[in-house]
Amino acid sequence: MADNLKIIYTNSIDDATTIAATSEATGFDIENVQTDAKIKTWRSTSLSAQTLTFTWSTGQSIGGVALAFTNLILNSTIRIKCYTLAADVSAAYDSGVKTLSFVYPPPAGFTTNNSTSFAYGGGNHWSWFFTQASFEKLEIIINSAGNPDNYMEVSRVIAGAVWSPVYNAMMNFPVAWDDLTSSVRLESGDHVAERNPISRSMNINLAAMRQADKQTLSTIIRRNGASEPVFVNAMPQASVAEDEAHLQIYGRLNNEFSINMFGVDLYESQLSVIEI
């Protein structure tokens, strides 16, 4: 059965005391996963299993991990290991090996989903959720055997606190694409187009929320506003893998938020997330 809407609304990766990777190509340092520029990525130097390691001097509340804008291919694997203390050698949480069971093909004009395609709709996301707890170390082990790029590439790593509605609120999540391509009809009669970036947005429409969920959602809106990005997976572990892929987005809330009361202890909300 598909899980409920999940929103990672804090990102402890940005506050990591130390950060390391098994390998990193020149100009594609692991520190790039701490930025919100899609074109700035971590890139491995080989296709051997890679471990990304993040540590903190104090415990971080983590209930979800996501990789946004990657070149990972079908059947790539990811494993999450979380440690209570940075010095621990035994993981307090181990996801086991998870397989990426659906990826979208690269956009027209690109042979793979590496970072050159990200601005034009390329790249794929992955996320995993678990019981939220305090951890001082996180390891992400990635394998993408047979990747045609001959390297693995990740633009953004997100790990932090997660909100999911406690009650079965009524939800729908329309996804839109914004294509900035410009076109013109020439005097010759030909129609020509100048290709420009394409990006997505997702509306989050919630109805019949209870007070506890409304309170947490209000807290997220006040905390993040339109400046701090969130990672949304509207249908984790969906029975149809493409549904989950379609309903994942990493971006910022737009400048208009609303939470309305329409009954006793019943609330509705409309939000929009705009891809970074």
Over the stretch 195-205, which tens digit does the pLDDT of each residue have?
999 999 999 98
Percentage of the chain modeled with pLDDT above 70: 98
- Predicted confidence at residue 168, as pLDDT, reads 63
CATH code for residues 6-163:
2.60.120.260
Q: Cα separation of 112 and 193, whole Å?
A: 23
Nearest alpha carbon to residue 198 among 221, 219, 216, 182: 182
What pLDDT digit, counting tens, does each position of 228-265 carry? Answer: 999 999 999 898 999 999 999 999 999 888 888 887 78
Contact partners, residue 188, CB within 8 Å, separation at least 6: none
- Predicted confidence at residue 167, as pLDDT, reads 73
Q: What are phi and psi of 53, to 5 degrees?
A: -120, 130
- Predicted confidence at residue 145, as pLDDT, reads 96
- Predicted confidence at residue 166, as pLDDT, reads 83
Nearest alpha carbon to residue 171 among 270, 75, 96, 92: 270
Q: What are phi and psi of 73, to 5 degrees?
A: -105, 170
- Predicted confidence at residue 258, as pLDDT, reads 85
- Predicted confidence at residue 257, as pLDDT, reads 83
Percentage of the chain modeled with pLDDT above 90: 85
Q: How far is CA 267 from the centre of its chain?
A: 27
Q: How do 162-163 and 98-99 pair as beta strands? A: unpaired
30: tokens are 């692991």
Reply yes or no on whether the pLDDT at 2 is more than 70. no
Contact in structure between 41 and 28 (CB atoms under 8 Å): yes
The length of the chain is: 276
Q: Cα separation of 85 and 152, whole Å?
A: 28
What pLDDT digit, counting tens, does each position of 22-75 carry? Answer: 999 999 999 999 999 999 999 999 999 999 999 999 999 999 999 999 999 999
Contact in structure between 273 and 204 (CB atoms under 8 Å): yes
For CATH 2.60.120.260, list the domain ranges present in the chain.
6-163
Contact in structure between 9 and 132 (CB atoms under 8 Å): no
* SS3 (DSSP) at 13: helix
Neighbours of 266 (CB within 10 A): 16
Q: Cα separation of 49 and 116, whole Å?
A: 23
